[in-house]
Amino acid sequence: MIRAVKGTRDILPPATAAWNHVESVARRIFRAYNYREIRTPILEETQLFARGVGQETDIVTKEMYTFEDRDGTSLTLRPEATASVIRAYIEHRLDQQPGVQKLYYMGPMFRRERPQKGRYRQFFQIGAEAIGSESPVLDAEVIEMVMALLSAAGLTGANLLLNSVGCPACRPRYIELLRERLRGVAEGMCADCRRRAETNPLRVLDCKVEADQPVIEGLPSILDHLCGKCRPHFDEVKRQLAERGISFELRPRLVRGLDYYMRTTFEVVHGALGAQNSVLGGGRYDGLAESLGSKIHSPGIGFSIGEDRLVMSLPEAPTDPLDLYVAPLGSEAARAILRPVRELRERGFSVEAGLEGKLKRSLDLANKLGARFALIVGDEEIASGRYALKNMRTGEQESVGFDEILNRLKS
């Protein structure tokens, strides 16, 4: 028997109802903040992610699905979407459009990670990018939108973690300080940290190995080394969040896993996910467009939600109940229900038209399908135009006309 590839999975009903709920909520919140949808290809040239995400990141060095096309071009299944969105922004000259470009996306990403709870090799992200402004007010608005989305989806108990990772003016000095401090202690850390201590010391701060945490906690804080532009920017972000009533926890070790981040970075974590508890992450990437070939400075900020992890974190997974099961008793009834069933569906109700002619079997099936109501249609009902409508939750049954059926379903 052929099975799903390791690290991938089938999402089946009724679980898909929770996914549809989350995506519907996301679209509603994005619309409220004036974000429009963008859809980028799943395949991109490998160089896009090498240049955008960073040559020394785990994503590029370990996790990407990369292959050579027939013409020799190196292609990669997208491991994240921000680089793709910025590539499209540059390619289609969206910088010529008025105002900040606010774009959102939903779709699958691919990384060859070790499968674990809430983490898959094909996973799904919901994300947004706001491109064209360096304002800290925009940072706060993006974070406000994130928290509104999570709340509307039904997530409770989530914590917002906040940091600033500086900019090209102040971060290089901080990185060199980290490199210097790590030279004396890196040998006692994990293999990844030993490698990163020289090649990308900022990534050491993102290490999740428990034994390395005491060393990491003793390293200098980037918040003590912000420059004259980054410090007031971060102070204003914090002030804006406070004015919006959004609580947060400062995390000076929060650097995220992608090299393009600068200044504001953030994560939202939730206890339902265990040790790997991040639901979403994001931050500012003011130099990404230039690194991908843009001649116009295009600062931006964005985030991506791990949809798999968000759905897992919801306290009650939404369901998508069947509104009505129609039980025709005989071939004449089966023909008679065709028009009313179609009309109910056109009005937006979910209706299942039964094929069985036996009443008990039909009602048993209606119950198993989770129908709210069952409509029993026999010869008498056809002649009178009155139908037996059974409330499957209470067991109550009444004789109703078509308009009354509509009222019951609306209720």
The residues of the chain that CATH labels 3.40.50.800 are 324-410
324-410 topology per CATH: Rossmann fold (3.40.50)
For residue 219, give the 3-state DSSP assignment. Answer: coil
The residues of the chain that CATH labels 3.30.930.10 are 16-170+226-313
Helix (H) or strand (E) holding 216: helix 213-217
Residues of the chain where predicted confidence (pLDDT) is lower than 50:
none
Amino acid at 167: C
Contact (Cβ atoms closer than 8 angstroms) between residue 366 and residue 327: yes
Residue 138, CA distances (Å) to 33, 141, 256, 381 in order = 11, 5, 20, 62
Q: Which residue's structure tokens are 């532009």? A: 229
Contact (Cβ atoms closer than 8 angstroms) between residue 272 and residue 266: no
DSSP classification of residue 161:
E
For residue 102, give the 3-state DSSP assignment. Answer: strand
Q: Which pLDDT score is estimated for 23?
A: 95
What's the CA gap between 411 and 407, in Å, rounded?
6
Contact (Cβ atoms closer than 8 angstroms) between residue 63 and residue 79: yes
Structure tokens, 11: 């999402």
Closest CA to 195 of 49, 62, 48: 62
Contact (Cβ atoms closer than 8 angstroms) between residue 313 and residue 272: yes
What's the CA gap between 68 and 109, in Å, rounded?
19
Q: How many CA atoms lie within 13 A of 196 on its CB side?
A: 24
> From the CB of residue 36, how many other CB atoms can be counted at a distance below 10 Å?
11
For residue 125, give the 3-state DSSP assignment. Answer: strand
Is the preceding omega at residue 201 within 30 degrees of 0, hence cis?
A: no
Four-way CATH pick for 16-170+226-313: 3.30.930.10, 3.40.228.10, 3.20.20.70, 3.40.50.10490: 3.30.930.10
Q: Which pLDDT score is estimated for 232?
A: 95
Which is it for the CA torsion 351, 354, 359, 364, positive or negative?
Answer: negative
List alpha helices for 272-330, DSSP H. 288-291, 307-313
What's the CA gap between 325 and 356, in Å, rounded?
12
Q: Which pLDDT score is estimated for 334?
A: 82
Contact (Cβ atoms closer than 8 angstroms) between residue 79 and residue 110: yes
What's the CA gap between 74 and 223, in Å, rounded?
39
Which is it for the CA torsion 291, 292, 298, 302, positive or negative?
Answer: negative
Structure tokens, 70: 């027939």
- Say what the pTM is: 0.85
